Amino acid sequence: MNSVVTVTGSVMEKTFRQWKKQSLNKLDHSKKGTVDEDIQHVVSLLNSREEYFTTSSCSGRIVLIDGAADRSDVQKQDCVWLFVSHHKCQPEDVISGVSRSGGDAMLKFEPFVLHVQCRRLEDAQLMHSVAINSGFRNSGLTVGKTGKIITAVRSTHGLEVPLSHEGKLLVEHEYIHFLTQIANQKMEENLRRIDRFYQNLQSALSAEKLQKLQIPDPPASQELQDSPHSLETEKGESEEKEKKKKTSVYKRRRKREQHRQTDCCHGDGSSSVSEPDHSLDLFT
C-alpha cells in the first residue's frame, strides 16, 4: 500500500513540475501583457518556490467600461474600455471617459486577485490561511479532475456603479468626483492588503521551511528504548532487581531472628525465651 502511495506521489510531483514549466514559459495573454508592478514581488516569490506557481493575477484596478445598451448583463468581451488604471485616478479621467459612452457606462473598482496552482493540498491550505488572515476573505480552493489544486486569493471590497444609459449621463459631475474619491480609497486599502499578504506569506513560508529543517531523526538510544526487545529487556531487569531486593530482605530478617535466638537461649541450646529481668531478683 505504501509503495503505491509513493509511486502516485512521484507521478504527481513530476506532473506538477511539467505544469509549472509550461505555465511560466507561455505568453501573457492579458491586455497589459505583463505582471502588474504592485504585485511583481508577490508573483516572483511564489514562482521561486517549488510548491507554487501563479496562473493569473491583477493588482487591482479602476475601470470604466461601456456596455451595449440593449444588454442587461455586462460582459467584458462585449464591452468597450473607456478608461482603466491600476493606480488612483482623477475625476477628470472618469468624466472624459464617460463622455465617449454610446451605451451603458459602468464605473468599477476591482480589487487584487491572484490564482495560484499548488503542489499539494497542504500547500494550498497554507496559502488559503495566509490569504484569509491578510483580509482576502473571499478566497477559496478548487481541485480539478486532473488533480490541479488552485488557490484563488480574492476580496469583496469592490465597487460597481452605472453612470450612463444609452450614452446619456445619469449623474452630476459632483457625484463622479465623490465616486472617484471612494474608488481611490478602496485602491489604497487594496495596496495595504497586498503588502500584508506579502509579509504574511514570507513569514509562513519561512516558518514552514524552518520546521522541516528542525525535525530530527529519532536517536538510536530512543529507538532501542522504544523497540519491543528493549521493553522486554527492561522488564526482565526490573523483575531481577525486585527479586534480589526480596532475597536481601529475607536474608536480613533471618539473620536478625538467629541473632535474637542466640542472645535469648540457655546453654543447653533450647530456644525457650528468658523470663523478664525482674524474675532474676529471686536468686540473689
Q: Classify residue 32: in a domain, yes or no.
A: no
Q: Classify residue 92: in a domain, yes or no.
A: yes
If one compares 75 and 279, the residue with the highest pLDDT of the two is 75
Please report, to the nearest 10 degrees, the dihedral formed by the alpha carbons of residues 222, 224, 230, 231 taken in order: 40
> What 3-state class would DSSP assign to 164?
strand
Contacts of 148 (CB under 8 A, 6+ apart): 19, 117
> What 3-state class would DSSP assign to 205?
helix
Q: Classify residue 139: in a domain, yes or no.
A: yes
**pLDDT above 70 for 219:** no
Q: Classify residue 173: in a domain, yes or no.
A: yes
Q: Classify residue 13: in a domain, yes or no.
A: no
**Residues 28-73: pLDDT tens digits?**
666 667 899 999 999 999 999 999 999 999 999 999 999 876 554 4
Q: Classify residue 251: in a domain, yes or no.
A: no
Residues spanned by the domain of 43? 39-212
Give the domain CATH number at 177: 3.30.1960.10
Residue 59 confidence (pLDDT): 96
CA 268 – CA 118 distance, rounded (Å): 99
Residue 26 confidence (pLDDT): 80
Q: Classify residue 174: in a domain, yes or no.
A: yes
- Say how many CA atoms lie within 13 Å of 138 toward its Cβ: 10
Q: Is 13 left (phi over 0), alpha (psi -120 to 50) or beta?
A: alpha
Q: Pick the closest to residue 107 from 155, 59, 170, 154 (CA basis).
A: 170
What does the pLDDT average to over 237-242?
62
Among 4-18, 25-39, 225-239, name the most confident range.
25-39
**pLDDT above 50 for 273:** no
Average pLDDT, the chain: 79
Q: Classify residue 163: in a domain, yes or no.
A: yes
Say if residues 243 and 250 touch (Cβ distance below 8 Å). no
DSSP H or E segment with residue 106: strand 104-110
Looking at the 3D structure of the chain, how many domains does it have? 1
Say if residues 177 and 160 touch (Cβ distance below 8 Å). no
* Amino acid making up residue 108: K
Q: Identify the residue whose cell numbers are 486599502.
A: 189
